[in-house]
């Protein structure tokens, strides 16, 4: 079955404008006609009998007419003339009003078509921008100018949405590229290790054991990377567990199990209960402590504190270490970002703090970082306390 052609929005608006104008014009014509039709002459309106008309004619031909009767006859004839003039005026008024109304309706349709087109021009620009946008090109923008009306706000909202999509797509592309590179590195190590042993015909059992050790280390590295990527992917689906978790208890447990080396820990742990996933919160605290240990100086200090203020639970982990610029602190939560890109001295793949920010976001909170004046970094995670609204 073929679909009937549908009217465009511009055509419907034109018909609406024209219809409303036609109705209003018809009402004006009808009211004007009724008001004029009700204007009766200021004399009697009864129909005179035929005998009265005959007396008037005979009296007019009489040599001695009755002045009083002639006055009545004159008044009657004037009334008849006024009635006739009124009927002619009403006929002309109705005729000219209908013609004028038809012309004005036609002009209203033309002007309505033009005005509707100008009013819908921003919508057409938004449609063109949406058609031009794709996963490979999100640079198209509406950039609407003119008065700040509802359509202008719609165009600005659409441009802001494209900005967010462009940032998200570019970040996704960078993430995929970096993840592919990071996964390719352990695979390349395993391939090179195996090839070296296989290409040597005099390989000894010790060489084979050394190859197995290197391959095992590369496999562990790849496994940890895949686990981190799975956590990030899991967080994209949202939070599914809502248990009461205390930052202070989790931090205390993590400090008892993690290897701190010669670092000195200064803990101020006050109750900070949130509603969320126990496993994810443990991973968040463990990543922060691991980052504070990994990027610290020899015999350095680590400060960890938890608190609850105004319905917000706070976890702060700070450490000594090299000086960090504010620009580095701003990008520390981005995927695969390592300060100074020092991969040789620090194992890892730059996803620890990305996971921290992701876990904080999935719990309705935020993670912020600022450099310490005497070196090192201070990271604060703020999450709404149990029963409080999200940030």
Q: Is the pLDDT of residue 306 over 90?
A: yes
Give me the pLDDT at residue 134, please: 66
Residue 320 φ then ψ, to 5°: -80, 170
The structure tokens listed for 277 are 């996933």
CA of residue 175 relative to chain centroid, distance: 24
Question: Under CATH, which number does the domain 171-236 receive?
Answer: 1.10.287.130
Q: Is the pLDDT of residue 315 over 90?
A: yes
Question: Under CATH, which number does the domain 243-384 receive?
Answer: 3.30.565.10
Instruction: State pLDDT tens for residues 45-68.
Output: 455 566 666 667 666 666 766 767
Return d(Cα 129, Cα 6) in angstroms, integer. Answer: 24
What does the buried/exposed string (b/e) look like for 60-81 if buried means 16 or more CB atoms within 10 Å of the residue's CB? eeeeeeeeebeeebeebeebee
Return d(Cα 40, Cα 134) in angstroms, integer. Answer: 74
Residues listed for the chain: 391
Number of neighbours of residue 42 by Cβ within 10 angstroms = 7
Give me the pLDDT at residue 314, please: 95
What residues does 273 pair with on adjacent strands? 246
Give me the pLDDT at residue 317, please: 95
Give me the pLDDT at residue 44, please: 45
Q: Is the pLDDT of residue 247 over 60?
A: yes
Q: Is the pLDDT of residue 291 over 80?
A: yes
Task: Give the containing element (helix H, strand E) for 310.
Answer: none
Are 110 and 140 spatial neighbours (Cβ–Cβ below 8 Å)? no
Q: Report H helices in 6-149.
A: 9-37, 50-61, 67-119, 121-132
Return d(Cα 391, Cα 384) in angstroms, integer. Answer: 7
Are 90 and 36 spatial neighbours (Cβ–Cβ below 8 Å)? yes
- Between 63 and 249, where is the model more confident? 249
Give me the pLDDT at residue 302, please: 93
Residue 346 φ then ψ, to 5°: -125, 120
- Between 78 and 190, where is the model more confident? 190
Residue with tokens 């079955």: 1
Give me the pLDDT at residue 40, please: 58
Where does the pLDDT of residue 43 fall: very low under 50, low under 70, confident under 90, or very high at 90 and above?
A: very low
Domain locations in the chain as residue ranges: 9-119, 171-236, 243-384
- Strand, helix or coil at 338? coil
Burial of 50 (0-12, 13-18, 19+ CB in 10 A): exposed
Q: Is the pLDDT of residue 307 over 60?
A: yes
Average pLDDT over every residue of 221-236? 75
Number of neighbours of residue 299 by Cβ within 10 angstroms = 10
User: Cβ contacts of residue 84 below 8 Å, gap of 6+?
Assistant: none
Specify the pTM. Answer: 0.57
Give me the pLDDT at residue 67, please: 66
Give me the pLDDT at residue 344, please: 40
Return d(Cα 282, Cα 247) in angstroms, integer. Answer: 9
Instruction: State pLDDT tens for residues 114-165.
Output: 988 888 888 888 888 777 776 567 777 777 777 777 777 888 888 888 888 8
Give me the pLDDT at residue 227, please: 77
Helices 67-119, 50-61: axis angle to 10 degrees equals 120
Return d(Cα 49, Cα 249) in angstroms, integer. Answer: 115
Helices then strands, each counted (H, E), the chain: 10, 7
- Between 275 and 214, where is the model more confident? 275
Q: Is the pLDDT of residue 175 over 80?
A: no
Give me the pLDDT at residue 72, please: 74
What rounded mean pLDDT belongs to the chain? Answer: 81
DSSP label at 243? E
Give me the pLDDT at residue 339, please: 65
The highest-confidence range among 68-77, 234-243, 248-257, 325-334, by mean pLDDT, is: 248-257
Q: Is the pLDDT of residue 254 over 50?
A: yes
Q: Is the pLDDT of residue 329 over 80?
A: yes
What residues does 380 pair with on adjacent strands? 316, 368
Q: HSE on the CB side for 170, CA within 13 Å?
A: 10
Give me the pLDDT at residue 161, please: 85
Instruction: State pLDDT tens for residues 331-374.
Output: 888 877 766 554 444 455 677 888 898 889 889 899 999 999 88
Task: Give the containing element (helix H, strand E) for 291.
Answer: helix 278-294
Give me the pLDDT at residue 312, please: 93
Q: Is the pLDDT of residue 262 over 50?
A: yes
């Amino acid at each position: 079955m073929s679909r009937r052609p549908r009217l465009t929005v511009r055509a419907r608006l034109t018909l609406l404008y024209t219809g409303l104008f036609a109705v209003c014009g018809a009402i004006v014509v009808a009211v004007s006609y009724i008001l004029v039709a009700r204007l009766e002459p200021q004399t009697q309106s009864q129909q005179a009998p035929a005998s009265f008309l005959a007396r008037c004619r005979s009296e007019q031909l009489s040599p001695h007419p009755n002045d009083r009767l002639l006055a009545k006859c004159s008044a009657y004839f004037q009334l008849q003339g006024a009635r006739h003039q009124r009927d002619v005026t009403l006929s002309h008024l109705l005729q000219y009003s209908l013609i004028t109304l038809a012309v004005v309706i036609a002009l209203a349709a033309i002007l309505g078509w033009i005005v509707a087109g100008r009013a819908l021009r921003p919508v057409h620009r938004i449609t063109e921008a949406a058609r031009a946008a794709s996963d490979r090109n999100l640079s198209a923008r509406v950039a609407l100018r003119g008065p700040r009306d509802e359509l202008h706000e719609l165009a600005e909202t659409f441009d802001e949405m494209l900005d967010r999509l462009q940032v998200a797509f570019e970040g996704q592309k960078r993430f995929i590229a970096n993840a592919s590179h990071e996964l390719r590195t352990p695979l390349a190590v395993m391939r090179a290790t195996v090839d070296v042993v296989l290409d040597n015909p005099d390989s000894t059992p010790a060489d084979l054991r050394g190859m197995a050790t290197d391959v095992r280390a590369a496999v562990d590295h790849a496994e940890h990377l895949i686990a981190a990527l799975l956590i990030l992917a899991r967080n994209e689906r949202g939070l599914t567990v809502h248990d009461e978790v205390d930052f202070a208890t989790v931090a205390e447990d993590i400090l008892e199990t993690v290897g701190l080396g010669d670092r000195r820990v200064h803990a101020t742990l006050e109750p900070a209960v949130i509603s969320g996933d126990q496993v994810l919160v443990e991973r968040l605290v463990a990543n922060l402590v691991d980052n504070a240990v990994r990027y610290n100086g020899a015999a350095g200090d680590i400060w960890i504190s938890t608190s609850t203020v105004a319905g917000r639970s706070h976890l702060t982990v700070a450490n000594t270490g090299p000086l960090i610029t504010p620009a580095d602190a701003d990008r520390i939560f981005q995927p695969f970002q390592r300060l100074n890109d020092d991969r040789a001295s620090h194992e890892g793949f730059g996803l620890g703090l990305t996971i921290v920010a992701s876990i904080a976001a999935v719990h309705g909170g935020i993670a912020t970082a600022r450099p310490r004046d005497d070196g090192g970094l201070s990271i604060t995670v703020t999450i709404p306390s149990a029963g409080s609204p999200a940030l």
